[in-house]
Amino acid sequence: MRSIWSGLTRRAVGPGEIAADVLRLIALACIPLAGIGWGPLGLVSLAFVAAAMVIPRLLHVRPALDIAFGVIALVSVWSSVTDLYVSVRWWDIPMHFLMNGLAAVIAVLLFARLRLIADPQRLPRPVLAAVLVTTAFGLGLAVVWEVFEWFGKNFIDDDIYVDYRDTIGDLVWGGVGSALGGLALPVLAPKPERATAGTA
């Protein structure tokens, strides 16, 4: 636990970590912008994403994963806030595929670091375990997002696009992206020395 919280205050090292921190600052700046231009739902959406973007820093993940997660998270949430998913109907496919895959990997790394689940890479069949666990996490996160959209439509803004076929498609593509994220978990996971940094 101590090593996780040390990630919040540690100094960024190298251009990759600095770029990831710049993305986090951009996400913070976007919160009031979304609230002013797109109302309460926009503000809540950006605030949620900005908070989620801190998790890779806490986990000391590789800069490439940190940057990819930040970029896709910002693109995904702005696509939702600005209704790009409605005007460009196919756009949600790559977004759910990429966002779910990256978010599932981050979630698995977080829960494994907190010792709430076994580290898939330390199990007898690490590849299969990583795929199964990451897919399960990804589908769970996809369901949470769809519930958030349903809640937003019914209690915040009736203009939010929610459709049965769209919801099922989002879950399917999110699951596929998460499965591929599980396959890539050994590459995306932090190096051992980075994961244990700050434990002394």
Handedness of CA 42, 43, 46, 47 (dihedral sign): negative
> Residue 158: what pLDDT?
73
Query: What is the domain partition of the chain in residue ranges?
Result: 13-82, 86-191
What distance lies between CA 15 and its chain's CA centroid?
21
- Answer yes or no: pTM beyond 0.85: yes
Q: Please state, in angstroms and rounded to a whole number, the distance separating the CA atoms of residues 38 and 82.
A: 8
Q: What is the pLDDT along the chain (200 residues), one digit of tens a residue?
A: 556 666 677 888 899 999 999 999 999 999 999 999 998 888 988 999 999 999 999 998 999 999 999 999 999 999 988 989 888 989 999 999 999 999 999 999 999 999 999 999 899 999 999 999 999 999 999 999 889 778 877 777 676 677 788 789 889 999 999 999 999 998 887 765 555 554 43
